[in-house]
Amino acid sequence: GAGVSQSPSNKVTEKGKDVELRCDPISGHTALYWYRQSLGQGLEFLIYFQGNSAPDKSGLPSDRFSAERTGGSVSTLTIQRTQQEDSAVYLCASSSGTLRFNEQFFGPGTRLTVL
Amino acid sequence: GESVGLHLPTLSVQEGDNSIINCAYSNSASDYFIWYKQESGKGPQFIIDIRSNMDKRQGQRVTVLLNKTVKHLSLQIAATQPGDSAVYFCAEGGGADGLTFGKGTHLIIQP
């Protein structure tokens, strides 16, 4: 596709359930990022994938959060046993090249609401 | 002004006026700065970037100014239009640490 896509666009779940959020980066982009944006807040870095290297998971807030990237393309962010404080917009971005501050192209985000 | 760490919630300007959005950064080692625009319900969109070896860069209706002495970044939007209404984020980066984003400034265009 022409840009980064994410699905679903909205997800409402009950506390304690697991959710999976999907990101399709721009074709050919080797770097993929996940961020979280709480209401009225900036972007909180979660995890970074670069090619086949081990991901930088330093931003994941707890062990309930995990992400994988299969075949160097599509990525899935999984949140287990969701809590109300997990409610936020989850943004995915991709970029070309190997420098972490290359221009990042963002998807529209997935709005997660945990009841 | 906004900082990567501080938050200036709203800036209201008249349509047709120039807007200036400010950002203070804390990491003197940062060598790359980006401004993003985020419209309601959408992901951030790249506007303009600047490297630390420059102090000014111009795009279409936008100018970014970098003052490394006081670690200050600003985004100037000329002749603001209703479509400029959005939240604007500055981000700093460099090395292996990726980008650090500010909390954003909400720009409101008054008719």
* B84 close to B75: Cβ distance less than 8 angstroms: no
User: If you ran DSSP here, which 8-state letter would residue A16 be given?
Assistant: T
Between positions 7 and 36 of A, the ones with CB within 8 A of B are 33, 35
Comparing A24-28, A106-110, B38-42, B75-79, the range with the smallest average pLDDT is: B38-42
pLDDT above 50 for A35: yes
Rounded Cα distance, B28 and A19, in Å: 39
Q: Distance between CA atoms of B98 and B6, rounded to whole angstroms?
A: 19
Residues of B in contact with A40 (CB under 8 A): 9, 103
Tokens, residue A88 = 């936020």
pLDDT score of A98: 67
pLDDT at A65 over 60: yes
- Residues of A in Cβ contact (< 8 Å) with B103: 40-42
Spatial strand order in the sheet of B72-77: B2-3, B19-24, B72-77, B62-67, B56-58
d(CA A55, CA B92): 21
Could you tell me which of A21, A109, A18, A23 has the C-alpha nearest to residue A64?
A18
B45 Cβ under 8 Å from any chain A Cβ? yes
Task: Compute the Cα dihedral for B39, A12, A75, A90 and give only its sign.
Answer: positive
Tell me which residues of chain A, numbers 66 to 105, contact chain B at a CB-CB cutoff of 8 Å.
91, 93, 100-101, 103-105
- Joined tokens for residue A109: 């985000």
Chain A touched by B41 (CB under 8 Å): yes
**Close Cβ partners of B11 (under 8 Å, ≥ 6 residues apart):** B19, B21, B105, B106, B107, B108
Contacts of B36 (CB under 8 A, 6+ apart): A106, B44, B45, B46, B47, B88, B89, B90, B91, B101
C-alpha to C-alpha distance for A99 and A85, rounded to whole angstroms: 32
CA-to-CA distance for A29 and B63, rounded, in angstroms?
A: 28
Does the structure show a pLDDT above 50 at B1? no
What's residue A56's pLDDT?
Answer: 86
pLDDT band at A53 (very low <50, low <70, confident <90, very high): confident
- Best CA proximity match to A69, nearest among A38, A97, A46: A46
